[in-house]
Amino acid sequence: MEMEINGRTRVCGLIGNPVEHTLSPLIHNTLAEKLSHNLVYVPFLVEGGEKEAGQAVRGAYALNVLGMNVTVPHKEHVIPYLTELDDLADKIGAVNTLVRTEGGYKGYNTDMTGLYRAMSSEGIRIEGEDIIVLGAGGAARAVAFLCASYGAKQVWLFNRTIEKAEQVAEEVNAKTGRECIRPMRLSDYAMLPEGKFLAIQCTSVGLYPNVEQAAIVDAAFYERIHTGYDLIYRPAETRFMRMVREAGGKAYHGLKMLLYQGVIAYELWNQVEVPDELADEVYKRMKEEMGIEA
Ligand code: ATR
């Protein structure tokens, strides 16, 4: 169905650099089409740093833009230019969604609520769970905040550079008022207590084109994992996922997280609930676009 752009069409968009490979227009324009909303979603290349990101936020507000997604490198840059900040986004210190309110934009981090919803949709829980997080970069740090904020029992945060794991653990424990994050060296998985774990893979290792790599390649580590969730979705089966499966566990790639960060942003902008069947339809289109089968 062709959408007609007219005097009432609302605009949403993505600011980032680069933006040309984004799947977000597919997500939001499909949702708008299926829900018969008069809305278009477009990419906006914003070069530069915090100053330019701030100019983009102010300009968007002046242009009556309904909502924005924010991607690399601006997820932190936009924060000083917002009038309100969601609590989880505030803790993480990174925002990927701006929601128009009276007087300015409110910032959210739907990457993390999207990950939570993607995991829930697969029946994976955080609350009360023992969780392994691989990595201590920006993504891992956000995931550690999600786990601590959503009631994980214990989180073992493994990183090649132990100092970074210690830093992240200290910060997340302090800001969430919980002592649930424990920093670990990659080689120290034998120190894990008994039982099996949910593992969330947050390093950049294994990302296309380095598809044969994983942060940990010892089969014994994978024996400890009942479910592996990789934030990477290119390739659709990472080495990490393959090793989880070979050890008898279940493994998931990160495309559903991408879907749900978009779905939640769309819901915030339009004050609607996207039904599961519609989310599934969008997901099908994303997989087609990516050439992913499962
Ligand atoms: P992002 O924003 O995607 O999290 P990042 O902040 O650059 O990216 O973090 C990359 C993560 O992948 C880090 O945890 C990094 O480990 P170090 O802190 O030791 O650098 C991890 N990583 C990258 N290459 C790695 C490799 N070859 N082996 C193990 N870990 C690696």
The answer as to whether 86 is a domain residue is yes
pLDDT at 292: 86
The answer as to whether 1 is a domain residue is no
Give distance in angstroms: CA of 24 to centre of ligand 1: 25
Task: Give the strand order in the sheet containing 84-85.
Answer: 39-45, 10-16, 67-70, 97-101, 104-108, 84-85
pLDDT at 59: 98
pLDDT at 1: 55
pLDDT digits (tens, 9 = 90+) for 205-231: 999 999 999 999 999 999 999 999 999
Residue of the nearest CA to atom 12 in ligand 1?
Answer: 203
pLDDT at 293: 81
For the question of residue 91 being annotated catalytic, the response is no
Give distance in angstroms: CA of 210 to centre of ligand 1: 13
DSSP codes, 114-178: HHHHHHHHTT---TT-EEEEE--SHHHHHHHHHHHHTT-SEEEEEESSHHHHHHHHHHHHHHHT-
Q: How far apart are CA 278 and CA 142, in angstroms?
A: 27
The answer as to whether 81 is a domain residue is yes
CA distances from 112 to 234, 244, 283 (A): 19, 23, 18
At 92, the amino acid letter reads I
The answer as to whether 4 is a domain residue is no
Query: Cβ(159) to ligand 1 under 6 A?
Result: yes
The answer as to whether 151 is a domain residue is yes
Among 204, 207, 208, 233, the mutation site with the greatest number of ligand 1 atoms within 8 A of its Cβ is 204
Residues 247 and 142 in one domain: yes
Residues 46 and 66 in one domain: yes
Total H helices, total E strands in the chain: 10, 12
* pTM to 2 decimal places: 0.96
Does the N-terminal peptide bond of residue 80 adopt cis geometry, omega within 30 degrees of 0?
no
Beta-strand pair 250-252/225-230: parallel
Residues 6+ apart with CB under 8 A from 123: none
CA distances from 75 to 54, 68, 94, 248 (A): 11, 11, 5, 37
Query: Cβ(215) to ligand 1 under 6 A?
Result: yes
Q: How far apart are CA 34 and CA 215, in angstroms?
A: 40
The answer as to whether 2 is a domain residue is no
Residues 99 and 212 in one domain: no
- Residue 254 region, left (φ>0) first, then alpha (ψ -120 to 50), else beta? alpha
* Chain mean position to CA 53: 20
The answer as to whether 75 is a domain residue is yes
Point out the residues of the chain with pLDDT beneath 50.
none
Cα 210-223-113 angle, rounded to 5 deg = 65
Residues 6+ apart with CB under 8 A from 57: 15, 68, 78, 81, 82, 98, 105
Q: Which residue, 281, 253, 280, 279, is CA-closest to 264?
A: 279
Query: Cβ(43) to ligand 1 under 6 A?
Result: no
CB atoms within 10 A of CB 198: 23
pLDDT at 2: 63
Give distance in angstroms: CA of 84 to centre of ligand 1: 31
The answer as to whether 65 is a domain residue is yes
Residues 144 and 210 in one domain: yes
- Identify the CATH number of the domain in which residue 203 sits: 3.40.50.720
Residues 249 and 118 in one domain: yes
Residues of the domain holding 62:
10-108+256-290
Residues 132 and 212 in one domain: yes
Tokens of 241: 């996922």
Q: Which residue, 203, 71, 234, is CA-closest to 140?
A: 203
Catalytic entry in 34, 75, 91, 250: 75
pLDDT at 3: 74
Residues 173 and 41 in one domain: no
Residues 60 and 95 in one domain: yes
Residues 165 and 35 in one domain: no
Q: What is the average pLDDT value for the chain, to the nearest integer?
A: 97
DSSP codes, 23-84: SHHHHHHHHHHHTT--EEEEEEE--SSHHHHHHHHHHHHHTT--EEEE-TT-TTTTGGG-SE
Q: How many domains does the chain have?
A: 2
Give distance in angstroms: CA of 111 to centre of ligand 1: 18
Residue of the nearest CA to atom 14 in ligand 1?
Answer: 135
